[in-house]
Structure 1
């Protein structure tokens, strides 16, 4: 099978990797921005408040993750926004985790709202590049595919996997795509391993619907979707699922993370960010063209339809 790089590597802009605190600072900033917007306050109004000792310019830097958040400023802002206790604890806990893990290669976000903050980060990105080897990425999952995957992974993690919990996870994944669709200024490039097309999740009907969904996305104008094949794909592609976000809002230029159903791992080591970026380029170089990828998706749509028909005939 032939493969095609998406662009000349020389045309890729140089990226300044994150410092050890920029990624979690952007997470905290996104959470603070969400609280402010919920209260329908402008940055000017917050900066002018008597109990707030943070300037307008610093508030801007804090919300974009460009300036570290101090504990006193965080406490004052949370009080000013009248944040619920559970959200105060969540954001304060994230700040403590940030300070505790300074100098480590990754920072884990294990708090209950980790996916909400991840979506906030994606909402402010100008480009999202994702690689997933074994399952369809969360951003592109159908409702039933997501339900089956979330249930099985929560169960395997020993976490609560009752219907209410699973439904909450599934709604957030669907919200993720809806949020992306509402934006016209963000590009999405997804490379998925051929194994994700073969791995049976929830049965033939669920898989056929998921393949149809991928086919629909692959023919759309705003998404580049390509398949990393078994025969011909790069051995240097990432071993684990990884997503690379790029920004142009004055904050950190990029965020690299790997996610599961229960957490996100943010890669903050300079060497690891650069190495992950290189592996993503190898994944792109080893992927099929968009046309060949679409042909493969058509093949799997037809395959699962045949399996459904055969199963129905045997019952």
Structure 2
């Protein structure tokens, strides 16, 4: 394990005691984000919605619903969908989300498979005080270059036989780029990214793709917006998460935290308190085993030089 220097930040999201139902309430933010999405698409303010005759809710209540601070009641949901003039398809998707969250109270997780799931995920991230993400094997989507993302998207779509459909591939690549643009527009909130060294040495595409991607990571690592640290082969923690995971912490009055896993076509939100606490602990182990920011920047410099000189020795096979 590596000791932090005085110049390195303290952990962004320390373990804090939470009431037993906190994890189960976390996905309420998901439904709140869906309602906020519909309202914003109609160009309405909270005040305008609260003033509507058919809506029996104050601005404060609507704000709580959109933050996930108050559970959405079926009648409120029905009235809001009607007021937002939601299409039949939109009503079915939001109603399905409502049922899924309600039924997931006693389960370990809930999956958001509905259209615009990524837009909703970005809305959920928007109000987070801190975001911590861990990825062991590849560069997280938020930090991928277009060329790197394109190779991964094609690989992920092979199972669906859509790897050669340029429309689908381009859509997924644009979504990843759009996500970074959305992050850059944030004025508050911290982002900490912990990347396994495997993601640096595993060739995705070819050396040119990797060289560009390493330069991108080095640029981000040296900037003020992102705390980027590498979890190394030597000295890393064996107790770090086994799969990619993101942990969100809030201080806006809604549910305190939210944990999710992400695939190419959905997000899976944990609703089990034990699973959330276990994931949080594993992220702390990943932090403890990661290099300092300066050490991580030095390692990225080495990989930038390595790919520039073609000395990775891994060949040019596509991932």
Which of the numbers 260, 263, 279 marks the counterpart of 2:263? 260
- Give the match for residue 4 of structure 2: 4
Alignment of 1:110 onto 2:113: yes
Q: CA deviation at 1:214?
A: 0.2
Spell out the pairing of 1:1-315 with structure 2 (5 A cutoff).
2-4=2-4, 12=14, 14-16=16-18, 19=22, 21-156=24-159, 158=160, 160-161=162-163, 162-307=165-310
Q: CA deviation at 1:292?
A: 1.1
Instruction: Verify the 8 A CA contact 2:229 2:293 in the aligned structure 1.
Output: yes
Q: CA deviation at 1:125?
A: 1.1
For residues 232 and 240 of structure 1, the distance between their equivalents in structure 2, rounded to whole angstroms, comes to 19
For residues 41 and 98 of structure 2, the distance between their equivalents in structure 1, rounded to whole angstroms, comes to 21
Instruction: Verify the 8 A CA contact 1:204 1:308 in the aligned structure 2.
Output: no
For residues 238 and 15 of structure 2, the distance between their equivalents in structure 1, rounded to whole angstroms, comes to 24
Instruction: Verify the 8 A CA contact 1:205 1:308 in the aligned structure 2.
Output: no
CA offsets, 1:37-85, max 9 Å, x none?
A: 2222221221221111233332111100011112222121112112233
Mark the CA change 1:11 to 1:187 in structure 2 (over 3 Å): closer, same or farther. closer
For residues 16 and 140 of structure 2, the distance between their equivalents in structure 1, rounded to whole angstroms, comes to 26
CA offsets, 1:176-220, max 9 Å, x none?
A: 111111122111111000001112111111111110000000000
Q: Give the structure-2-normalised TM-score.
A: 0.90
Mark the CA change 1:10 to 1:212 in structure 2 (over 3 Å): closer, same or farther. closer
Q: CA deviation at 1:15?
A: 4.8
For residues 82 and 103 of structure 1, the distance between their equivalents in structure 2, rounded to whole angstroms, comes to 32
Q: CA deviation at 1:296?
A: 0.9
Mark the CA change 1:130 to 1:46 in structure 2 (over 3 Å): closer, same or farther. same
Partner secondary structure for residue 243 of structure 1: strand
CA offsets, 1:257-302, max 9 Å, x none?
A: 1111121111111111111111111100100111111111111111
Mark the CA change 1:20 to 1:3 in structure 2 (over 3 Å): closer, same or farther. closer
Partner secondary structure for residue 209 of structure 1: helix
Mark the CA change 1:21 to 1:159 in structure 2 (over 3 Å): closer, same or farther. farther
For residues 11 and 168 of structure 1, the distance between their equivalents in structure 2, rounded to whole angstroms, comes to 33
Instruction: Provide structure 1 residue ranges, at least 5 long, that are not aligned to the other structure.
Output: none
Q: Quote the RMSD (CA, aligned, Å).
A: 2.4
Partner secondary structure for residue 125 of structure 1: coil
CA offsets, 1:115-166, max 9 Å, x none?
A: 111111111112111110001011111111111111211223x264421112
The count of aligned residue pairs is 311
Partner secondary structure for residue 191 of structure 1: strand
